[in-house]
Chain A
């Protein structure tokens, strides 16, 4: 099952339409479950809902063989944590899909690091969906404990000065 998710803050018609059209063509027979927020476009080739209950969302992430989404950090994190191959399309300001173009840079960075696949434009999507089937994401080494420790130190220093 492919899980398509675009978040809820802004619509993302380009992505939903591209996936729908790719599925309409030959060769893509996978089942798709989709969470499309306030996207206007209504897909013909798969079921889509506006938003999903947290538990169901988490379950879809776990059950999915592949994930397709916007280049939101929330979804990238979840895909990496669950070791799922992820294909993203960055949201663009010029299409009123976000307040700025930061998703383009995020997508490029995580793509360079080998963590995700990126379709920068709609016409790249069918090819990238093909690549997604065999894509092995590189595991990410993060340092949450180092960051937490720095904040803990900051909190401790505040405590000392408070007394």
Chain B
């Protein structure tokens, strides 16, 4: 008989569209112990209704220095919270959270943002190399890749 242990789950997404997609999936981690990681204070209040929130700041490929700063913040959170799983919809900060988690033994589930309609996002293509579950929201993007699944669109 299975006894469903509560998992410690890290839910990581940039403020804005990435986070609105992640929040549409709320039902699937009900009963587990979760915390949120996002990029801007403006969503903190909204997320606090659902659990603990860490704000790691914005970063993108244009600013390598911010990437390093955010990466260190991610590592600090992972080492303190020790999540079993990271679930992320991107973007770059979400990828850094997944990467840090993977390094310390977490499993990774990546849902590529619906905004990427012609090819997987850059963060997604990187996450694909180590993710344990990888979902896209467009059927035509799942076809050319192994390990990329399409089961539907979140929005």
Contacts and interface: CB of A to CB of B under 8 A. Distances in A.
B147 interface: no
Nearest to B137: A147
Contact of A147 (B9, B116, B152): B152
Contacts of B7: 155, 158-159
Interface residues of A, number: 41
Interface in B1-34: 2-5, 7, 9, 16-21, 24-29, 32
Does more than half of chain B's interface fall in helix, strand or loop, or is it mixed? loop
A115 to B, nearest CB: 10
Contacts, number: 131
23 contacts: A7-B16, A8-B42, A72-B17, A73-B18, A74-B18, A77-B20, A99-B62, A102-B116, A105-B117, A106-B114, A143-B153, A143-B154, A145-B27, A147-B151, A147-B152, A148-B24, A148-B28, A149-B28, A152-B27, A152-B29, A155-B9, A155-B85, A158-B107
Interface of A: 7-9, 51, 54, 72-78, 80, 99-100, 102-103, 105-106, 108-109, 140, 142-152, 154-156, 158-160, 162-163
Complex A-B, nearest 6 residue pairs according to Cβ-Cβ distance, in ascending order: A143-B152, A73-B17, A74-B17, A146-B152, A148-B28, A152-B28
